[in-house]
Amino acid sequence: MTKTILITGASSGLGAEMARQFAALGHDLALCARRTERLEELRSELESDHEGIRVAVRALDVTDHDAVFETFRSFRDELGRIDRVVVNAGLGKGARLGTGRFDANLATAMTNFVGALAQTEAAMEIFRAQESGHLVMVSSMSALRGMPGSITTYAATKAGVASLAEGVRADLYGTKLQKRVKVTVLYPGYIRSEMNEKVDQGTPLMASTEKGVRAMVSAIEKEVADACVPPLPWAALAPVMRHAPLPVLKRLI
């Protein structure tokens, strides 16, 4: 069944590859990001490769909260409905706390959590009006445990994103929307993208963009509640990351 899927942060990396793979499945797309030239190139590519799909694009900075609501509503008006929203836009920069880079940590917090809150609000507004929809939150394996060094704030924002999604699910439980509005939380491990380009690209844990996103899209299409992606090795590592003593965790990461 064809769905209309809105993806934020769709101009590159995981967002752009999700758009490609969803287009290959025949879905219509609403794509937004700050870099409109890349979005236009992606739209041309998708429409050329997949005849008959609809692709709408908009410029959006998710820290402009009014614009988030306006953009989501305009996509719905143009395409008729929004069946799925993938809250994907994010930043990976940061610094060890107390080292004078509050600006970097604040930017990450505002984009990854407050921006995600605005996207969730805008998505749920549409889903409540439609009485159906699928909210997908892109968290991170780093959300499973407080992380040291430059990713402390990043990990905290991704834990917040996961908790926000769980809160939506709990809020819907026992209401008429429980079975009609689905919530999925994805916990990606190392997947090659612009965001993690500073991570050692030769690590055996690093999945290619195509492979990693294939696992994400598969989980989304199944509408699972949550998934570590790719499943191997991350599903096996999840309980270790959650429960290992801190000295062991520090050696692992």
Nearest to 14 by CA among 148, 166, 160, 196: 196
For the domain that residue 95 is a member of, what is the CATH number?
3.40.50.720
Output the pLDDT for position 251.
79
Output the pLDDT for position 1.
87
Domain that holds residue 147: 4-252
173 is catalytic: no
- In order of 41, 89, 161, 164, the CA distances from 136 in angstroms are 25, 12, 10, 11
Total domain count, the chain: 1
Q: How far apart are CA 82 and CA 96, in angstroms?
A: 39
- Phi–psi pair at 225, nearest 5 degrees: -70, -45
One-letter identity of residue 58 = R
Q: How far apart are CA 124 and CA 117, in angstroms?
A: 10
Output the pLDDT for position 202.
53
Output the pLDDT for position 116.
98
pLDDT tens digits, residue range 132-160?
Answer: 999 999 999 999 999 999 999 999 999 99
Q: Which two tokens stand for residue 168?
A: 């939506």
One-letter identity of residue 128 = R
Q: How far apart are CA 225 and CA 127, in angstroms?
A: 17
Q: How far apart are CA 251 and CA 150, in angstroms?
A: 16
- Exposure on the CB side of residue 40, measured as CA atoms within 13 A: 4
Output the pLDDT for position 17.
98
Output the pLDDT for position 79.
98
What single DSSP character describes residue 110?
I
Q: How far apart are CA 215 and CA 227, in angstroms?
A: 9
**Active-site residue identified among 154, 173, 187, 190:** 154
Q: Which residues of the chain have pLDDT under 70?
A: 194-204
Q: How far apart are CA 189 and CA 179, in angstroms?
A: 29
